[in-house]
Structure 1
Amino acid sequence: MFTSRLSLFLLFLLLPLRTLWADTLPMPEGQVILKVSGAISHTNVADEAHFDYTMLAALGMHDVETHTPWTEGESRFTGPLGRDLLDAVGAQGNLLKVKALNEFVADVPVEDLRNHDVILAVEKDGERMPVRDFGPIFVLYPFDQNPKLLNETYRFRSVWQVKSIRVE
């Protein structure tokens, strides 16, 4: 009887710690290639979520084979689903401000990532994407799978050389 009460007491004592751990992300061990800020509840550096390649890959890699307006022929792009990143950081907003290395910013509705298999491509045809070839991250819509996405609105939201995302 005493042992079960002690176990229950310890369980209730440790529950807040488990909740605290659930709201933090592991620290990146490699070069940080993405910073997520704003209306997020899971962080690892102050009030931001920093990701290296390994952390993004751990979200689950998905392939999208598609043509794009910026590449020749069909390519296979690989990266985590955007909605998996949103879940990982506990995103609570409706709009993403996606910023590229050259300071270009595009507004991307969160519903795009929830309703379409948008990936944060980190590889093209099996190779990591260098900055000169859309890297380190390319917000990519599945254009061939859903031709309705191949219009100016979604092309504008397909940011490459992504460095940060702010959730609003």
Structure 2
Amino acid sequence: MEHARFLLKVEREGIPYTLNHYFSENLQKAQNTRLVEMISSAGKAVTYEAEEYEDPEKGVFISLKRLQNLSVAKSNSAQIVERIHDVLASYYKVARKRFVDVVCQQVVEYLLLSNDEKCPLQVFTSKFVRGLNVGQLDDIAGEDASVRDLRAKLDRDIGAFEGALEILKGSV
């Protein structure tokens, strides 16, 4: 838990940066999606021989003047908000995946299962488990007494209901 807290502290208090190429891919995808949405909302369906295309694959028509005004029609704050949103969403998508991988690799795999020193779960080797008797296994991995009692009661109830069903089938 100490190492997991350390990794969490590094993520929360460290400078948010990544060298992962998926960051720039995610950022470009977000910006591209925003651009396509702006153009689509500003354009009109392409017409060819007086027919409107219903198929979005065939595109939209937008005048150059309107296209030039798409980016200048926004205020500075709107552009900054969009940029910050795209950067943060792209960063945290990559950072979340990295953090999960690091916790699994360092905390779970190394510190709990396979480091050179005695780690907590190395005690449960297959040789150790094979050497346990039924009572010891039940103490370690068995159900709680309350769950066991409830299971026994439910088994008795099922038996009673099946018996009642047989009686009802015989009397019909």
What TM-score do the two structures reach when normalised by structure 2? 0.24
Higher helix share: 2
Larger Rg: 2
TM superposition score normalised by structure 1:
0.24
